[in-house]
Amino acid sequence: MDGTGIQNRGINLQNNSNITTQGNISLTGNGGNGTDQLFGIFLDSNITILSTGVGAIALSGTGGNGTGNLNHGIGIQNNSNITTQGNISLTGNRGNGTDQLIGITLDGNSIVQSTGTGAIALNGTGGNGTGIQNRGINLQNNSNITTQGNITLTGNGGNGTSDRGVAEYRY
Give the amino acid at 91.
T
pLDDT at 171: 53
Query: Any idea of the CA torsion for 166, 107, 90, 57, to the nearest 10 degrees?
Result: 150
pLDDT at 128: 85
Q: What are the residue ranges spanned by the domains of the chain? A: 11-169
pTM: 0.94
Contact at 8 Å (CB) between 63 and 40? yes
Between CA 12 and CA 60 the distance in angstroms is 13
Tens of pLDDT along the chain (171 residues) come to 456 778 889 999 999 999 999 999 999 999 999 899 999 999 999 999 999 999 999 999 999 999 989 899 999 999 999 999 999 999 999 989 999 999 999 999 999 999 999 999 999 999 888 888 899 999 999 999 999 999 999 999 988 787 888 988 765
Residues constituting the chain = 171
Order across the sheet with 48-51: list the strands: 18-21, 48-51, 81-84, 111-114, 144-146
